[in-house]
Amino acid sequence: MSPLLMNLSELEEKDRGRVGGKGFALALLARQKIAVPDTVCVLAEAYDEYLDRTGLRERILLELNRKDFKDMRWEEIWDASLRIRNLFLTHPLPPDVARPMADDLQARFGSRPVVARSSAPEEDSAGASFAGLHESYVNVRGTESILKHVRLVWASLWSDAALLYRQELGLEAARSSMAVVIPELVAGEKAGVLFTRTPSDPSCLALEAVWGLNQGLVDGAVEPDRWIVHRESLEILSHRPAARDNQAAPAEDGARLEPLPEDRRSRPPLAADEVTEIARTALRWESVQGVPQDMEWTFRQGKPVFLQARPVTTSRGSSDDQRGWYLSLRRSFENLQALRKKIEEDHIPSMIREARELAAKDLASLSDEELAREIRERATVNERWVSVYWADFIPFAHGIRLFGQLYNDALQPEDPYEFMGLLEASPLESLERNRSLESLASMIRSDSSIASRIRQGRFTEAGPSFQAALDDFVARFGDLSCPVTGGVQCTQGQPALMTILLEMAEHPPRRRGASKDRRVLEDRFLQAFHEGRRREEAGQVLELARVSYRLRDDDNIHLGRIEAQTLAAVHEGRRRLKRRGLQRMEETTPEEVARALENPDYLPAASPISEIPAGVSSRPSATKARQLVGQPGGPGLARGRARVIADHARLKDFKHGEILVCDAVDPNMTFVAPLAAGVVERRGGMLIHGAIIAREYGLPCVTGVPRVTELVATGDEITVDGYLGIVTVERTVGGGGGR
């Protein structure tokens, strides 16, 4: 047998760390004459050997040390995890390691289906329940596929979830290891889980069962029947039947949900004597282990087989912990489909309708009291949509990730973000806005009299066709002076829109980035799946991802239009208060404006404003950032003057050929993209708006650069390397050269 594999019967106490908790528990169960599946363990040494031989150990460390972990957002952690996973996918086992393993696995399982289950030694010793942080793959067939899935299980040592809980797990790139347990797949007619002690009543045990594979229960996709059994008497104290409408069944590759056959719907998966039998075995096992146990089992030919056993442990995380929320953003395809329906058929039409209805109201005709009420109502409407945004729109973005994983698993591309090529060139609202903007700019470009009139501030004399186009633009997208789409007149003086248009008109229009051959990529993706149901499903995931990609940008614009209506009412209020002689109205909150409108004697308080003045850097003089590291967000290399945007009102100063440097780009800001030579953002992630718009225009982009708006000042000469994810400060404004 390969020195990297072991049978359960060969395991001794000293091998616990080599096979992890799950592998060792199976060996102990077998020793107690409790039936377990035929199982081979891939030792943790195999993982180490693989890492050392492929050079991946240092690559993982390089990936995880690009920036301080505390500076990484969840999205960046997900990105890092995706890149690491892709390293495992694109690096096969060295042949001299793989061959003996393959020979043994072939002799043992042949073409019988197996499960590849993570069994991390760290997870075992962590003392808390980390179930689900690492992956397991059900129904894997053939040695080649088994070895590939072993690599995927290894990769899951670095899953986003595991990285989030790395401290509790003691996860360290230099030391952490992963064993893999490979049991034959026992496709029993029914399966379930069992806790030998219920949290609410220590004299009872709880048992849950479903028809079909356990996968359905563990994933939460199938509702189980539940029994409470007295530990001493083994008497069934209660049975709560489930709806019993579907079951998980082995499919070509993995498991899938299918409708439950009629004859199974009416009866519980377990008869009373079967409940007792499992309970009795579990309690015997618990008495050997000495602590309450959490077990998985199935039935084969009328006899229970135990698939897993581990101590019942405390749950992870505290209530103020954000990590659980982040992980709840990982959604299943079914969940995302439902979310899509809700968003497309419900939310978006409502948002459009609501913004339009609000816009139709004549604010000027309202009395002060009515206006105060209107301001409050609009603020409430706005808040409601913001909460919908967090509850539904943000989780929906996971559709892109779901597709990315499917794509990478199927094609194992060198570039883990190749899949983005299939999503780009979607009809984004922000791109539609930019197209309209360009057509206005081209009118100015082709008629110099329009430009000169605009420069003189004679906007209304620019000609009827230009005026009509301009009115249409403002009606749809606002005058670009507000931090939200659809807002108007947020700043005094020359409208931002005109300044941007004149700047655009002075330069040739920017062509959108040459889109990679989407069709070719799409065909290659679909060809990777067997014709029929699998391919159809792959197509559905792609379709979902495209919607997810589009909505990730569009939702901000729709939300902006609602917010713009709130702003409009507040502006009207401020205008009236100014007429009363009140000062500094720009700094008052909507609520203060409403109060002052209701009560002529009320003096509104100014809200504290925190703002970094653009172009003034707070950098200390003795140190200077020369080369800043982020993540590659869009390929390409650009050199130019930095324009650091600390405040939306400054976007109008943006000049052609400058590099947009920003804390966080949102789609309401990306109208400067056609002028920009590159994009740099403090916020990190491959799927953030800055990166999306940069790729759409073929602009070099680096994201996730900590403190970039402090370390770079407007006017600095910088280079953006979108391949390596680095920003070099060549020459600082007012300072000497970088050399």
Partner 1 sequence: MEQEEIKRALGELLSSQRLAVLATHDEGRPYANLVAFAATDDLRTILFATPRTTRKYANLVADPRAAVLVDNRSNEEADFHRAMAATATGPAREVAPSDRRPWLELYLKKHPHLEDFVRSPTCACMELSVERYVLVNRFQQVTELHLS
**Shortest gap between Cβ of 734 and partner 1 (angstroms)?**
21
Residue owning tokens 């096979």: 19
Judged by CB under 8 A, which of 3, 10, 32, 58 binds partner 1? 58
Question: Toward partner 1, which CB reaches closer, 382 or 719?
Answer: 719
Nearer to partner 1, 673 or 727 (CB): 727
412 part of the interface to partner 1, by CB under 8 A? no
| Least CB distance to partner 1 at residue 721 (A) | 5
Binding mask 610-639 for partner 1 (x = CB under 8 A): -----------------x-------x-x--
Tell me how far apart the alpha carbons of residues 548 and 583 are, in angstroms, rounded to a whole number.
45
Stretch that binds partner 1, among 57-65, 364-372, 380-388, 426-434 (CB under 8 A): 57-65
3-state helix, strand, coil in the chain (%, to 5): 50, 15, 35
Q: What angle do CA 60, 61, 63 make, to 5 degrees?
A: 65
Which of 151, 170, 15 lies closest to 25, judged by CA?
Answer: 15
Q: Between β-strands 717-721 and 293-300, what pairing exists: parallel, antiparallel or unpaired?
A: unpaired
In this chain, which of 17, 728, 731, 733 binds partner 1, going by CB under 8 A? 728
Q: Which residues contact 130 (CB under 8 A, 6 or more apart)?
A: 123, 162, 165, 168, 169, 316
Bridge-partner residues for 728, per DSSP? 627, 719
Q: Which of 234, 47, 6 is nearest to 154 (CA)?
A: 47
CB of 659 to partner 1, least distance (A): 13
Residue 174 or 364: the one with the smaller Cβ distance to partner 1 is 174
390/723 with CB nearer partner 1: 723
- Give the nearest distance from C-beta 76 to partner 1 in angstroms: 17
Contact window for partner 1 (CB under 8 A) among 312-320, 371-379, 475-483, 724-732? 724-732
What DSSP string runs through 23-83? Answer: HHHHHHHHHTT-----EEEE-HHHHHHHHHHHTHHHHHHHHHTSS-GGG--HHHHHHHHHH
Q: Which stretch binds partner 1 (CB under 8 A): 357-365, 370-378, 404-412, 722-730?
A: 722-730
Question: CB of residue 713 vs partner 1: minimum separation in angstroms?
Answer: 19
Q: Which is nearer to partner 1, 10 or 58 (CB)?
A: 58
Distance, CA of 620 to CA of 636 (rounded, Å): 31
Residues 113-152 binding partner 1 (CB under 8 A) are none
Show the binding pattern over residues 675-714: x = contacts partner 1 (CB under 8 A), - = does not.
Answer: ----------------------------------------
How many residues touch partner 1 under the rule CB under 8 A: the total is 19
Measured from the CB atom, the residue of 495 and 684 that comes closer to partner 1 is 684
Q: Which of 528, 664, 726, 733 binds partner 1 (CB under 8 A)?
A: 726
Sheet holding 659-662, edge to edge: 627-629, 726-731, 717-721, 637-645, 659-662, 678-681, 701-703, 631-634
Residues 6+ away with beta carbon under 8 Å from 406: 538, 541
C-beta of residue 296 within 8 angstroms of C-beta of residue 214: yes
Name residue 660's beta-bridge partners.
643, 679
Distance CA 642, CA 637 (A): 14
Q: Say whether residue 739 binds partner 1 (CB under 8 A).
A: yes
Residue 89 Cβ, how far from partner 1 at the closest point, in Å? Answer: 15
Q: Quick check: 199 and 177 in contact, CB under 8 A? A: no
CA 694 – CA 118 distance, rounded (Å): 38
Cβ atoms of 541 and 402 closer than 8 Å: yes
Is-contact 211 269, C-beta < 8 A? yes
Residue 485 and residue 667 in contact, taking contact as beta carbons nearer than 8 Å:
yes
For residue 669, the minimal CB distance to partner 1 (Å) is: 27
Under the binding rule (CB under 8 A), the answer on residue 425 touching partner 1 is no
Nearer to partner 1, 43 or 727 (CB): 727
Judged on CB neighbours under 10 Å (0-12, 13-18, 19+), 57 is: middle
Choosing from 35, 59, 100, 184, the residue that interacts with partner 1 (CB under 8 A) is: 59
CB nearer partner 1, residue 289 or residue 728 = 728
Nearest distance from C-beta of residue 638 to partner 1, angstroms: 11
CB 314 within 8 A of CB 126: no
Does 721 help bind partner 1 (rule: CB under 8 A)?
Answer: yes
**Candidate residues 641, 724, 733, 735; the one interacting with partner 1 per rule CB under 8 A:** 724
> Least distance (Å) from partner 1 to the CB of residue 56?
8
Compute φ and ψ for 57, nearest 5 degrees: -55, -50
For residue 56, state whether it binds partner 1 (rule: CB under 8 A).
Answer: yes
Residues 26-55 that bind partner 1 (CB under 8 A): 54-55
* Range in contact with partner 1 (rule: CB under 8 A) among 101-109, 246-254, 673-681, 717-725: 717-725
Chain positions contacting partner 1, by CB under 8 A:
54-59, 62, 627, 635, 637, 719, 721, 723-724, 726, 728, 730, 738-739
